[in-house]
């Protein structure tokens, strides 16, 4: 208790500067490692819940270093499946920005926002011949994922996106989950 009073008195006697000392200047960020700054490609198995249908397919994407932890991303996914006897396919092509949160670490989470379009088609083989219907939608996707670095070049990636699409028949919000491998090129 007595010690506390002494510490308090000493603190009160310390002269307070008229202006607070200037904050230390942030150190310049180190340049990202060569493989972090180079482009990467991602190939994966992908699941898409399109409307009420569960579709399976592939998702491929490429990203390029933009600035600091931001990357430009292009993403193409193709899915197919069946629902109530009809065959469904959906193709999504989008591009946008990705924010990487822990560049250079083994676990590397990221978030991304994409804009683009989607084309879906439904076909039913009736006795009178095939019936076909198709739809083009516009919108984007918000997503997040994580890379697990195996080697400087190779990584495993899991990502989830929410496709927010609008067409003449209204809006859809379809989740997509992809799991695959990433290959990073040196800058």
Q: What are the residues binding other proteins (CB under 8 A)?
A: 47, 49-53, 82-86, 88, 90, 99, 101, 109, 111, 118, 120-122, 124-128, 131-135, 137, 142-144, 160-162, 165, 167-170, 172-177
> Which of 38/81 has CB closer to other proteins?
81
> Who's near 22: CB < 8 A, 6+ residues apart?
none
> Which of 101/154 has CB closer to other proteins?
101
User: Minimum Å distance from CB 118 to other proteins?
Assistant: 8
User: Minimum Å distance from CB 89 to other proteins?
Assistant: 9
> Which of 11/84 has CB closer to other proteins?
84
Alpha helices in the chain (DSSP H): 2-13, 34-37
> Which of 66/162 has CB closer to other proteins?
162
User: Minimum Å distance from CB 165 to other proteins?
Assistant: 6
């Amino acid at each position: 208790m007595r010690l506390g009073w002494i510490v308090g008195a000493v603190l009160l006697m310390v002269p307070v500067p008229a202006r607070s000392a200037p904050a230390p200047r942030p150190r310049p960020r180190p340049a990202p490692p060569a493989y972090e700054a180079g482009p990467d490609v991602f190939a994966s198995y992908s699941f898409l819940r399109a409307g009420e249908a569960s579709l399976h397919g592939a998702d491929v994407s490429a990203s390029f270093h933009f600035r600091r932890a931001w990357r430009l991303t292009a993403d193409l996914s193709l899915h197919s499946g069946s629902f109530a006897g009809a065959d469904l396919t959906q193709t999504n092509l989008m591009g946008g920005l990705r924010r990487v949160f822990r560049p250079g670490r083994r676990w590397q989470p990221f978030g991304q926002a994409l804009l683009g379009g989607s084309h879906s088609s439904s076909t039913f083989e009736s006795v009178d011949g095939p019936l076909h219907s198709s739809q083009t939608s516009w919108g984007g996707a918000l997503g997040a994922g994580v890379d697990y670095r195996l080697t400087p070049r190779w990584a495993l990636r899991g990502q989830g996106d929410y496709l927010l699409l609008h067409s003449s028949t209204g809006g859809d919000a379809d989740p997509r989950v992809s799991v695959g491998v990433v290959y990073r090129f040196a800058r």
